[in-house]
Structure formats: C-alpha cells, structure tokens
Amino acid sequence: MLAAYQTARLALEDGSIWSGPAFGAPGTHLGEVVFNTSMTGYQEILTDPSYAGQIVVMTAPQIGNTGINNDDDEARQPFLSGFVVRELSPCVSNWRAASSLDVWLQAHNRLGIAGIDTRALTRKLRTGGTQKGILTTETAPSDADLVDQARAWPGLDDVDLVQAVTCDAAYEWTAPSDTEWEFRRWTVQPDIAVPPGGFSVVVYDFGVKHNMLRRLASLGCRITVVPARTTADDVLALHPHGVLLSNGPGDPSAIPYAVEMTRQLLGRVPMLGICLGHQIMGQAFGGKTYRLKFGHHGGNQPVKHIPTGRVEISAHNHNFAVDPDTLPPEVDVTHVNLNDNCCEGMRHRSLPALSIQYHPEAAPGPHDADPLFTEFVQMMAEHSREAVTRR
C-alpha cells in the first residue's frame, strides 16, 4: 500500500486541481476524465477495455467495499488510465474477495485517488464536457505544470485504441454464464432449428467483454474470437453462421479497417454490433459518428425501443454516437436515448444486420436488453433457412 501520507493530484485542462490520498501504484497517467453513475460493479468497470485512455470518476460515494474477486473481470487486465473515488472503503467484506482494490491496482500498475468531491467534479464534467486530465503522485511538477501537460496531451480523437486491447491471435470461447445467472429466463425459442453443435459465431475483438461471450455460449453458440484486423475473407473461411462486432475504446472514425471489413461482410452473414461495433456498423451503412458532450457511462440510461414503445433501463460506456441523419433510408433507427435522443440502435431493412449502442450483457447491471442475443440467434436461424431454400 502507498504510504498513508502520499498525495495524488488530478489536474484538468480547465486549470482546476484536485488532490487527495493516493492508492494503487504510484506514477503519472494522462487520460480523458469521464464519470460513471453505476452504483455497483466497479471491478467490471475497471476491467472494461472500452475505458482505455480514460480516467474514470465514480459517482457512488464509497468504492472498494467488496474488494476484487477472481471471477468478475471483463478482460485480461485493466486498460483505464486512472480511478477517482470519493471514499476508498477501509475494509473489504465479501466472501468472494481475493484482494483489496488497492492491492489489485498495485499489481496492475494503475493509480487511484480518493478524498475527491466527486459530485462537484461530475457537475463540472457534465456542464463543461469531457476534459483532458493528468493523475500523478509526483511532487516536483507545480500545479501549473500539470495543467500545461494536460492541455498539451493530444487526447483520444482520431486515435486507434483498439490495437492496444485486441487479442494477439484467434481463440475459442466455451464458458457460459453461471447457472444461477438471472438471464437464464430468456432462452432461444423452441421453434428455432439449431444446427448440430450450435450456431458458429465469429466475434471481432475490438475490446470485447467476457460476459458478451458468456451470453452467446449460454445460447449454445460456438464462439471464435478474432483480432481486430482479421480480414473478411479469413472470417468467411471459418463458415460462421453470424458475426458479432464487439465493444471497444476510442474514436470509431479512427479505425477505417474495421469499417471496410464490416462493409465486405454485410449481406453475406448475419451481423450484430454492440457499442463500438454499433458505431462501426453505422459507418459501414454509410453514416457518420460524432462525439457526445460527456458521453454515457453507467447502468441507468433509459432507452426507448421505437417499434414497440418499450423502455429499457440499460448500461452504457461510450463517448461517441451515430448521427441518424447521415444514415441511408434502408436503415431504421430502432432505439433512442430518452435523456438526449441520440441513436441507440439500428436495423437494416433488407440485410441481416442489427446493432445497439449499449450493453445487453451488463454484469452487474440492468438485464432489460439481454433478449438481443436471442434476437441475434433467431436472425442466424432465419438466414440459414433462407440459404437452404435458395439452394
């Protein structure tokens, strides 16, 4: 543990300085400062690859209560740049805990800062928008020096962060959700003809969360996860029944290779895009993306499904969105965010392709959107039947 007297400072590009006790590993980290409104699930947030390059501010007042366990990581390591909390719990109380948050952050060389008025900081970010920041335990730089460093940092626009989080080689995933998992009440409809061994799904790893893979495995899918630069021809050579474009970090306009690959696959195999995958698909359809003022980060976003009027409470983590006015007429916007009316889902009218901006696999989090995985399986089944008919 860091010495009790060691202080960390968070400097923002607007000139404000925030200081408090440091925890985790000492050092200096630059990043975009964003706030997350989830009340639980800090371990899943810390290990979500979509936070690469970001300093995450938790609005929940006390963090660390349940420690860190060996089961809930969403990726092989944390990729975020820093962690900001109001109060770091002085004790750990959970039967699954394997270590404290402090010890775990040390092991992964990540820095946290406590004692911050996260309500005031969140209001600043919400009012002024996402800011560049620097988090450090160094004492030599002055406050003004730190502000200058934050301002000089180029930020995350036009930066490909996917290459920092994607897998190095393709691999198979077989582990389903736990049998106690609440999602089990949503299953594939009995009239779906599942091929022997289940549907084969290729998952593009742009920063995929493990629970996305677990949900597909729970529906009987055979999953192959592939690196982000895998070509469309290499994917088709695997003869998948469907392709999933995963979540991931950064600016969606900075990964044209992913957009081109998606363009080549559209219409040839059923496709599902989630979060960054949604933004990639939107560009492949011909649309454009734009940066949100402060993004959507948290487990309490209301989203309306336009065809039915059903409102889902959903989990989000994105700074960019698809501009619906740039989409072609053959693409329908299926979901909108009721807070800011941004596009949260799309479906092509003639091609087997759909996407949502938020996280149907959220764990922990609201489960309203989980049936999307069943919808994807149904789409694969329909496409398979049509292929047989065409023969």
Q: Which CATH number fits domain 7-152: 1.10.3430.10, 3.10.20.30, 3.30.300.30, 3.50.30.20?
A: 3.50.30.20
Gap between the Cα atoms of 269 and 84, Å rounded: 42
Q: Does residue 364 have a cis peptide bond before it, meaning omega lies within 30 degrees of 0?
A: yes
275 is catalytic: yes
pLDDT surpasses 90 at 386: no
Using 50, 70 and 90 to split pLDDT, how confident is the model at 321?
very high
Entry pTM: 0.95
Which residue among the candidates 74, 312, 344, 361 is catalytic per the annotation?
361
**Topology alike, domains 7-152 and 162-390:** no
Pairing, β 331-337 against β 343-348: antiparallel
pLDDT of residue 175: 87
- Indicate the pLDDT class of residue 210, thresholds 50, 70 and 90: very high
Q: Can 361 be counted among the known catalytic residues?
A: yes
Who's near 275: CB < 8 A, 6+ residues apart? 50, 246, 247, 248, 317, 318, 356, 357, 358, 359
pLDDT, tens digit, 9 for 90 and up, residues 331-376 = 999 999 999 999 999 999 999 999 999 999 988 888 888 899 999 9
Q: Which of 275, 318, 344, 367 is catalytic?
A: 275
Q: Give residue limits of the domains in the chain.
A: 7-152, 162-390
Tokens 């039947």 -> residue: 385
Domain 162-390 superfamily per CATH: Class I glutamine amidotransferase (GATase) domain (3.40.50.880)
Q: Does the active-site annotation cover 167?
A: no
Catalytic residue among 29, 278, 359, 367: 359
With H, G, I as helix, E, B as strand and everything else as coil, classify residue 104: helix
Could you tell me which residues are beta bridge partners of residue 337?
A: 303
Quick: pLDDT tens for 149-207: 999 999 999 999 999 999 999 999 998 887 655 555 555 555 677 777 789 999 999 99
Residue type, 316: H
Are β-strands 200-205 and 242-245 bridged in parallel, bridged antiparallel, or unpaired?
parallel
